[in-house]
Amino acid sequence: MTKGLVFFLSLLLCSPFLSQAQKNQAEIQALTSFKLNLHDPLGALNGWDPSTPLAPCDWRGVACSTSNNRVTGLRLPQLQLSGPLTDRLSHLMFLTKISLRLNSFNGSIPSTLSQCKLLRAVFLQYNSLAGTLPSGISNLTDLTILNLAQNHLSGEISGDLPPNIKYLDLSSNSFYGSVPASIANLSQLQLINLSYNRFSGEIPASFGQLQQLQYLWLDYNVLEGTLPSALANCSSLIHFSAEGNVLGGVIPAAIGALPMLQVVSLSHNNLSGTVPVSLFCNVTVYPPSIRIVQLGFNLFTLVVGPESDKCYSVIQVLDLSENRIGGVFPSWLSRVTTLTMLDVSGNLFSGEIPVQVGNLSRLEELKMANNSFIGVVPNEIKQCGSLLALDLEGNQLSGEIPAFLGNMTGLKVMSLGRNLFSGSFPETFRNLIELESLNLAHNNLTGSLPEEIVGLSNLSTLDLSRNKFYGNIPESIGNLSKIVVLNLSANFFSGKMPASLGNLFKLATLDLSKQSLSGEFPIELSGLPNLQVIALQENMLSGEVLEGFGSLMSLYYVNLSSNSFSGHIPGTLSFLHSLVVLSLSDNQITGVIPPKLGNCTDLEVLELRSNSLAGHIPTDLSRLPQLSVLDLGGNNLTGEIPGEIFKCSSLTALFLDANQLSGSIPDSLSKLSNLIVLDLSSNDLSGGIPSNLGLISALLYFNVSRNGLAGEIPVTLGSRFNNPSAFAENRDLCGEPLDRTCEDATEKNRRKRLIVVVVSAACPLSLCCCFYVFSLLRWRKKLKAAAGEKKMSPARASSGASGGRGSTDNGGPKLVMFTNKITLAETIEATRQFAEENVLSRSRYGLVFKACYNDGMVLSIRRLPDGFFEENMFRKEAEYLGKVKHRNLTVLRGYYAGPPDIRLLVYDYMPNGSLATLLQEASHQDGHVLNWPMRHLIALGIARGLAFLHTSNMVHGDVKPQNVLFDADLEAHLSDFGLDHLAIATPTEASTSTPFGTLGYVSPEAVVRGEASK
């Protein structure tokens, strides 16, 4: 009886567990299937045991309901799990939350997940999931949070989304197509994050219906169009960010009036016009709310202040950098006393820095670099006691560096480079013990390197380049233990390099170039593990190049050119697999080129010119696929040019001149399709010039003079390089552009063959004569007379033609790269080698060509007329002209200067032609092309462009319809200004043009007096 009772009680107690295990069997199998697909390096799921009484509710990361013990949550974040997600997760019918973030799950999101009808939150961010967004996800009607950020998902979002979702984060994937307009139907949405995808099209105006939306993030897509003013209806909006798109137009002022808006971030777009005052000053009955405004890298031209003197604002961060805002600095901004960061760098501001800046007492960062501010640094800046960063670089500020800056002890960053400061360091700078970065480059500062600077032990960056400092570099410079970048270049320092530089263990960049330093390279520098850049060119350093360089594994730039280094090139340099630039030109280095340099597979520039190197050119150099410049000229190299050099497919410049190379020119050089410069002059090369070298379309400079080449110059090369000096002093070379025709050479060869035949026939004849002399003595005198008569026969005059002789240097053309990463070879190809059908216009300043690049970009290339204009002056004038930027002027985007007098200017392409064309069309269409409102806008644009030129002290002098061009929006742009200083005008328009413009358009005083005026 007792045993039966015990058995009954045991059965009664165990029955709930048995029934629960049976009930959860499907969930156990689903989770077991989930585990079997995964790689679990940490063993996080080792405790998942199906045999436990409470399985799966007692498993790690599994949460169950207290009412029915069914699985409601799966939380396994940041456990290094990887593998696909199983379809059997759909068997977790009571699942409300799944969090698998910060793992390495891959594969696609199971479409069966949409069967978990009770799901409220899905966190799958920071994995490697791919594929598209499951179409059935809209069935999850209880879902409020969906976070799929930082995966590899792609495709268009065409279907509906869960109707009650509040937080939607699809950022950092590869979704594309239009932003779904159906998002506007999700009335509960509070957060939308679509940043870092490839969405295109416009921002849907229907977003204005989202009354509960607080965060709208659309950064770094390819969105275009304008900002919809309907966004001003999003009354709950707190943070709006759409950086890194191609949005245009103006910012609707109503957006700044949103009552709860705190952050507006629209940098890196094409927004233009006026920045609305509502972004700075409160214009509503609500309390001011905007704290951060980021509008950098746009096309804004004006900032308008409030109508009254008062500006109610709580703004803390204002970024207007890299726009086109001109005029004097808006003084009303100094009344926004809540500012902690103000950045107006890269604009067109002029005049003096207003003293009212001192009112911004909370300011921590003040950045006014790259404008045209003049005068001195106002003393009132010292009232900004919280200032951490001061950047005034790239202006025209003058006078001495203010001493009060040394009393702003909280400064961490000070940049005053590229101004007109003079004098010496203020002694007060010793107080800047928190300073981490100091840039005083490109001024007129003098004196020795002061101890005040060397004592700033927190410095990580020190740039004093391009000043007039002199004396020795003190040993105490080794006390800058935290220095990472040290640039003292282009000063007048002398003496030896201090050995204490070897104490700077964090040093990454060392630039002491263009000085008068002497002595040997300190061996202590070979122990700096982080050194990446060594620039010591143009000094008087001597001794051998250190073997220890090979231990500096981070080195990628080494320039020791124009010194007096001797010895051999260390073979240990081959250990530097990250080396990009190695320049040892103009030294006294001997020996051979180490073949092991072929191991430096990242090498792009190898310059060994003007040394005493001997031996052959190593074929191992052909293992350098990134090599762009190879300069071995001015040495004693012998042997043949390696045919394998064509494997350096990136080569743009090859200098082998002034050596003792022999053999023929390899045909394989024609495979260097990117080659721009080829100089093989002053060697002992023989044979003919390979005709396929003319197939290198990018080639602009070619020189094979002073060799032993023979045969006819290929027509394709002779026509492209019509300067005889490129082929001169090759005795047997003929054809254009040399004066010696190949017919003359053929005639000379025929005469040589005739002489050989005559000599060969004369030898047996002489033997016969001798026989007759000895056999017929009585006729000796007569025969002698006959023999003497033969000897007196006239000899053939040798003929020859000397090639044209002209002076030439061994250097190639000066390449000035385009600012937007366009290569010259691409430009030549884009204009079809400056073909006639690509000509857009002609003027006294040369031809303008249309250039269509392979990536779809279209530019205008002006080729200035031939004529001598000194290269440095051209370059200086072109760089000045490139700074003249206005919405109604054609902006110079780049330039090129090369031999003999090739000058190119690069402008934006204007697809709607010139005003002259539009006027002609209007005359044939009863004025419908140009109505009076449009003519009024064009006239205003021309007037604005002229006014800006006059404020920049420039005179156009030739304003005519042909010089007014139109962009895609029919915005007027004045062209052909500032070219008088860049080219010598051609006489093609002599009958209609003057030195100051075209008759009929030029002012009368310019014609009569020869003077231009405004």
Known catalytic residues? 958
Output the CA–CA distances (angstroms, integers) from residue 575 to 551, 554, 618, in the order listed. 8, 10, 17
DSSP three-state, residue 708: strand
The rounded Cα 811 to chain-centroid distance in angstroms is 26
The rounded Cα 174 to chain-centroid distance in angstroms is 24
Count the neighbouring beta carbons within 10 Å of the beta carbon of residue 969.
8
**Tokens representing 420?**
């007109």
Which ranges of 661-806 would DSSP assign to H, the alpha helix? 715-720, 742-775, 780-791
Count the neighbouring beta carbons within 10 Å of the beta carbon of residue 953.
7
Q: Residue 751: left (phi > 0), alpha (psi -120 to 50), or beta?
A: alpha
DSSP three-state, residue 7: helix
Task: Collect all residues with Cβ–Cβ distance below 8 Å to 341 and sequence separation of at least 6.
Answer: 316, 317, 318, 319, 363, 364, 365
Pair 735, 713: CB distance under 8 Å: yes
Name the CA dihedral angle for 414, 418, 424, 430, rounded to a multiple of 10 degrees.
Answer: 10
**Tokens representing 82?**
């990887």
Rounded Cα–Cα distance for residues 401 and 373 (Å): 15
Output the CA–CA distances (angstroms, integers) from residue 210 to 146, 229, 242, 406, 642, in the order listed. 18, 14, 17, 52, 69
Amino acid identity for residue 428 in this structure: T
Half-sphere exposure of 303 (CA within 13 A, CB side): 24
> 372-375 and 71-75: which strand pairing?
unpaired
Phi, psi of 619 (to 5 degrees): -65, -15
Rounded Cα–Cα distance for residues 388 and 413 (Å): 6
Output the CA–CA distances (angstroms, integers) from residue 302 to 246, 346, 840, in the order listed. 20, 14, 33
Output the CA–CA distances (angstroms, integers) from residue 509 to 487, 513, 558, 740, 758, in the order listed. 8, 12, 10, 55, 75
Count the neighbouring beta carbons within 10 Å of the beta carbon of residue 880.
15
Rounded Cα–Cα distance for residues 780 and 404 (Å): 117
**Tokens representing 53?**
């009484």
- Exposed / middle / buried, residue 717 (Cβ in 10 Å: 0-12, 13-18, 19+): buried
**Tokens representing 409?**
């002890």
Pair 822, 853: CB distance under 8 Å: yes
Amino acid identity for residue 901 in this structure: D
Nearest in space to 74 (alpha carbons), one of 97, 90, 105:
97
**Tokens representing 921?**
């069309």
Half-sphere exposure of 638 (CA within 13 A, CB side): 4
> 516-520 and 299-303: which strand pairing?
unpaired
H or E, element range at 438? strand 437-439
**Tokens representing 246?**
């191609």
Taking the chain, what is the end-to-end CA distance rounded to the nearest angstrom? 124
Looking at residue 233, the DSSP 8-state letter turns out to be G
Rounded Cα–Cα distance for residues 504 and 482 (Å): 7
**Tokens representing 810?**
């061994």
